[in-house]
């Protein structure tokens, strides 16, 4: 094969690959030098002259003239006698440049050269693809789907293969061969000896940012800045935006008139719900906005933990909104703010409740942790859920959820003990004894009442009325005790005045501060004289 034919075939390959002349010249020289090294063992004694415009190549073999018996390396040296055959003017020490024809290499060497040339072009293409798409990381590219596999989908973009892995696809998306698909370049992988692999994504938060840049001119021009994006692909997303112009409302600019702008983004993302909110540099305000539609009443931060935590209190009827279905809302809020958020139900001052940690002796730490993660930090917050809802939201099996509800219901049915009630200040203790209520024999009025009640038998109610001179019960059925008389023979006290019985000389001793109609609390105290009375 002539050198012209070989160079012509090289040129056709280069034009098909849209390669420039300088690159072609470098490749051709490298190919011929590889051929020379393979044949002669070295290419130091050769010079390659390539003219890409005319499409010809010339190989010069440069040798030094030495004596006929002094040749050590025939590649770099030539005998004086042979040099004189070329030109009689050559002498020892001169350099002789002789032309080398490509056909001298043989057909096999020429075919090898063509294969080497193609390989070099592929290597250069790989490098170009790597450099080109490395610069496009984070940018949107539109590719045509040409193959749908089980774990990935392949797209073609400008003769370059793009790979869309399964985990980078929006759940629920369906792809068909020949459809055009928008994606964002995520990364470019390159292994030794293999083609670079361009990985694209539709689940990356950057993809949503670029879509807003396409649909919202204010974002594209930098007037409105997207500070952060949190996504659960195919389900819901939160976008925090900030305006650098006081006259521009960042949220309104992103939503558009009647939601026309954000609807375009939603359609591209397979109807993913998007909440646009205004950014704030105050973490507490940012957390409150991120938990929308819930409206927290109090946000407290703990910066000492890693990651930092935030305690958020919301009204009881907004706990489910703050957490969201399957915990989506609180998860997105945590991603957006960078805080681990714990939602607690706001407890009114007049409402009695029990902290969920007080059930630590009956519930495991793991169960308590799961309940707190879904905002059930008190007993009543747990009782607001059914067993099925509690099992689903707290990731518990149904039997465990039923057991948790039974434990908490039992605790609320028992109620707090009397000591605990007194400690919390809901009751006061008052004594019903008086300093002057003791009888002459040392018996207190309450003791006398107890003795009188104990002396009656169960059938006393059906007995005949007492005879004349016997004591009569007062209006409340209680008897007044007379000093020195038996319990069943007291004289009736008429109000607080003295009463005398016919044929009797005994005086009725007045009792201090004994009302005519004792209240129910006093009756209860008299029936149990040794215990203090508890009043609500």
pLDDT, tens digit, 9 for 90 and up, residues 327-341: 899 999 999 999 988
Q: Where are the alpha helices (DSSP H) in 338-491?
A: 365-373, 379-383, 387-394, 398-414, 418-423, 445-455
Query: What is the distance between the alpha carbons of residues 372 and 394, in angstroms, rounded to a whole number?
Result: 9
Q: Which residue has the higher pLDDT, 171 or 471?
A: 171
pLDDT at 441 over 80: no
Provide the token pair at 47: 């010079």
pLDDT at 433 over 50: no
Burial 309-324 (b: 16+ CB within 10 A, else e): bbbbbbebebbbbbbb
State the number of CA atoms in the 13 A half-sphere of 527 facing the CB: 8
Query: What is the distance between the alpha carbons of residues 121 and 355, in angstroms, rounded to a whole number?
Result: 72
**Cβ 444 vs Cβ 438: under 8 Å:** yes
pLDDT given for residue 6 in this prediction: 62
| Secondary structure element (H or E) that encloses residue 344, with its range | strand 340-345
Which residues, 6 or more positions from 1, have their beta carbon under 8 angstroms from its beta carbon? Answer: 102, 103, 107, 110
pLDDT given for residue 2 in this prediction: 56
Q: Which residue has the higher pLDDT, 424 or 299?
A: 299
- Edge-to-edge strand list for the sheet holding 273-278: 224-232, 236-243, 273-278
Q: pTM (2 decimals)?
A: 0.59
Highest mean pLDDT: which of 92-96, 273-277, 408-412?
A: 273-277
Which residues, 6 or more positions from 215, have their beta carbon under 8 angstroms from its beta carbon? Answer: 256, 261, 262, 264, 265
Q: Which residue has the higher pLDDT, 8 or 308?
A: 308
**Cβ 33 vs Cβ 43: under 8 Å:** yes
pLDDT at 380 over 80: no
pLDDT at 224 over 90: yes
Provide the token pair at 229: 């994006």
pLDDT given for residue 230 in this prediction: 94
pLDDT given for residue 482 in this prediction: 38
Query: What is the distance between the alpha carbons of residues 118 and 284, in angstroms, rounded to a whole number?
Result: 62
pLDDT at 135 over 80: yes
291: confidence class by pLDDT, cuts 50, 70, 90: very high
Q: Which residue has the higher pLDDT, 100 or 455?
A: 100
Which residues, 6 or more positions from 15, have their beta carbon under 8 angstroms from its beta carbon? Answer: none
Q: Where are the alpha helices (DSSP H) in 222-339?
A: 250-255, 260-268, 283-290, 319-323, 328-337
What is the number of residues in the chain? 536
243 — phi, psi (to 5°)?
-105, 140
1: confidence class by pLDDT, cuts 50, 70, 90: very low
pLDDT given for residue 444 in this prediction: 44
Q: Quick one: which of 305, 233, 335, 217 has its CA closest to 274?
A: 233
Average pLDDT of 11-30?
Answer: 72
Provide the token pair at 317: 């009827």
pLDDT given for residue 193 in this prediction: 65
pLDDT given for residue 350 in this prediction: 55
pLDDT given for residue 526 in this prediction: 47
Which residues, 6 or more positions from 290, have their beta carbon under 8 angstroms from its beta carbon? Answer: 238, 240, 277, 332, 333, 336, 337
Average pLDDT of 350-361?
Answer: 74
pLDDT given for residue 244 in this prediction: 93
Average pLDDT of 175-181?
Answer: 92
Average pLDDT of 482-489?
Answer: 41
Q: By percentage, how much of the chain surpasses pLDDT 70?
A: 70
Q: Which residue has the tokens 């990356």?
A: 204
499: confidence class by pLDDT, cuts 50, 70, 90: very low
2 — phi, psi (to 5°)?
-75, 155
- Other Cβ atoms less than 10 A from the Cβ of 356: the count is 23
Query: What angle, 0 to 180 degrees and rounded to 10, lies between the N-to-C axes of helices 387-394 and 365-373?
Result: 90
pLDDT at 73 over 90: no
Q: Which residue has the higher pLDDT, 43 or 294?
A: 294
Provide the token pair at 41: 């063992």
Highest mean pLDDT: which of 157-161, 273-277, 399-403?
A: 273-277
pLDDT given for residue 506 in this prediction: 41
Q: Which residue has the higher pLDDT, 260 or 54?
A: 260
Average pLDDT of 492-502?
Answer: 41
**Cβ 287 vs Cβ 333: under 8 Å:** yes
Q: Which residue has the higher pLDDT, 423 or 309?
A: 309
**Cβ 429 vs Cβ 533: under 8 Å:** yes
pLDDT given for residue 68 in this prediction: 77
Average pLDDT of 405-430?
Answer: 58
509: confidence class by pLDDT, cuts 50, 70, 90: very low
Average pLDDT of 62-91?
Answer: 80
Which residues, 6 or more positions from 427, have their beta carbon under 8 angstroms from its beta carbon? Answer: 418, 421, 534, 535, 536
Average pLDDT of 439-447?
Answer: 45
Q: Which residue has the higher pLDDT, 54 or 482?
A: 54
56 — phi, psi (to 5°)?
-125, 160
Average pLDDT of 450-466?
Answer: 42
pLDDT at 403 over 70: yes
Cα separations (Å) of 250 from 242, 253, 318? 6, 5, 27
Lowest mean pLDDT among 85-94, 220-229, 447-456: 447-456
Q: Which residue has the higher pLDDT, 401 or 206?
A: 206
pLDDT at 492 over 70: no
pLDDT given for residue 52 in this prediction: 63
Reduced to 3 states (helix: H, G, I; strand: E, B; else coil), residue 161 is strand
pLDDT at 289 over 60: yes
Q: Which residue has the higher pLDDT, 20 or 441?
A: 20
Average pLDDT of 429-438?
Answer: 43
Query: What is the distance between the alpha carbons of residues 411 and 531, in angstroms, rounded to a whole number?
Result: 26
pLDDT given for residue 233 in this prediction: 92
pLDDT given for residue 471 in this prediction: 44
Provide the token pair at 130: 């790597």
pLDDT given for residue 423 in this prediction: 44
pLDDT given for residue 354 in this prediction: 77
**Cβ 396 vs Cβ 390: under 8 Å:** yes
Cα separations (Å) of 99 from 2, 55, 59, 77, 518? 14, 17, 6, 15, 139
Average per-residue pLDDT in the chain?
75
Query: What angle, 0 to 180 degrees and rounded to 10, lies between the N-to-C axes of helices 205-215 and 260-268?
Result: 140
**Cβ 90 vs Cβ 84: under 8 Å:** yes
Alpha-carbon torsion, ordered 99, 103, 104, 108, to 10 deg: 140
Q: Show the 3-state SS of 189-217.
A: ECCCCCCCEEEEECCCHHHHHHHHHHHCH
Cis status of the peptide bond prior to 293, with omega within 30 of 0: yes
pLDDT at 531 over 70: no
Q: Which residue has the higher pLDDT, 420 or 66?
A: 66
Query: What is the distance between the alpha carbons of residues 322 and 331, in angstroms, rounded to a whole number?
Result: 10
Alpha-carbon torsion, ordered 452, 458, 459, 464, to 10 deg: 20
């Amino acid at each position: 094969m002539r050198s012209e034919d070989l160079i012509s075939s090289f040129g056709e390959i280069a034009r098909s690959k849209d390669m420039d002349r300088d690159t072609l010249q470098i490749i051709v020289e490298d190919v011929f030098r590889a051929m020379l090294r393979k044949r002669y063992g070295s290419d130091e004694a050769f010079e390659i002259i390539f003219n890409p415009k005319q499409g010809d190549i010339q190989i010069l073999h440069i040798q030094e003239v030495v004596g006929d018996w002094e040749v050590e390396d025939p590649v770099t040296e030539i005998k004086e006698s042979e040099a004189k055959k070329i030109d009689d003017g050559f002498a020892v020490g001169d350099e002789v440049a002789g032309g080398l024809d490509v056909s001298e290499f043989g057909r096999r060497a020429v075919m090898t050269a063509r294969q080497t040339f193609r390989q070099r072009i592929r290597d250069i293409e790989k490098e170009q693809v790597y450099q080109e798409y490395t610069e496009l990381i984070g940018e949107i590219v539109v590719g045509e789907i040409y193959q749908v596999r089980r774990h990935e989908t392949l797209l073609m973009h400008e003769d370059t293969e793009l790979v869309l892995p399964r985990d980078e696809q929006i759940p629920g998306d369906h792809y068909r061969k020949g459809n055009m698909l928008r994606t964002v370049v995520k990364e470019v992988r390159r292994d030794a000896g293999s083609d670079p692999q361009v990985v694209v994504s539709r689940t990356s938060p950057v993809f949503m940012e670029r879509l807003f840049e396409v649909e919202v001119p204010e974002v594209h021009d930098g007037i409105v800045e997207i500070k952060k994006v949190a996504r659960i692909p195919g389900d819901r997303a939160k976008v925090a935006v900030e305006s650098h112009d006081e006259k521009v409302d960042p949220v309104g600019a992103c939503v558009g008139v009647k939601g026309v702008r954000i609807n375009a983004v939603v359609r591209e993302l397979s109807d993913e719900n998007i909440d646009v909110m205004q950014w704030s540099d105050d973490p507490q305000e940012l957390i409150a906005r991120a938990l929308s539609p819930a409206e927290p009443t109090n946000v407290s931060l703990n910066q000492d933990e890693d990651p930092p935590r935030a305690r958020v209190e919301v009204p009881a009827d907004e706990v489910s909104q703050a957490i969201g279905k399957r915990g989506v809302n609180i998860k997105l809020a945590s991603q957006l703010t960078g805080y681990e958020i714990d939602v607690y139900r706001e407890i009114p001052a007049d409402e009695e409740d029990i902290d969920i940690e007080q059930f630590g002796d009956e519930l495991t730490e793991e169960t308590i942790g799961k309940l707190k993660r879904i905002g059930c930090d008190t007993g009543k917050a747990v009782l607001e859920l059914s067993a099925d809802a509690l099992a689903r939201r707290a990731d518990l099996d149904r039997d465990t959820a039923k057991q948790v509800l039974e434990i908490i219901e039992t605790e609320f049915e028992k109620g707090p003990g009397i000591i605990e009630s007194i400690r919390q200040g809901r009751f006061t203790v008052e004594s019903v004894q008086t300093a002057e209520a003791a009888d002459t024999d040392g018996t207190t009025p309450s003791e006398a009442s107890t003795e009188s009640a104990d002396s009656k038998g169960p059938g006393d109610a059906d007995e005949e009325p007492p005879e004349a001179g016997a004591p009569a019960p007062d209006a409340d059925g209680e008897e007044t005790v007379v000093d020195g008389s038996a319990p069943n023979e007291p004289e009736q006290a008429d109000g607080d005045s003295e009463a005398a019985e016919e044929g009797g000389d005994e005086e009725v001793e007045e009792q201090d501060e004994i009302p005519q109609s004792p209240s129910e609390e006093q009756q209860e105290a008299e029936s149990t004289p040794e215990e203090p009375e508890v009043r609500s």
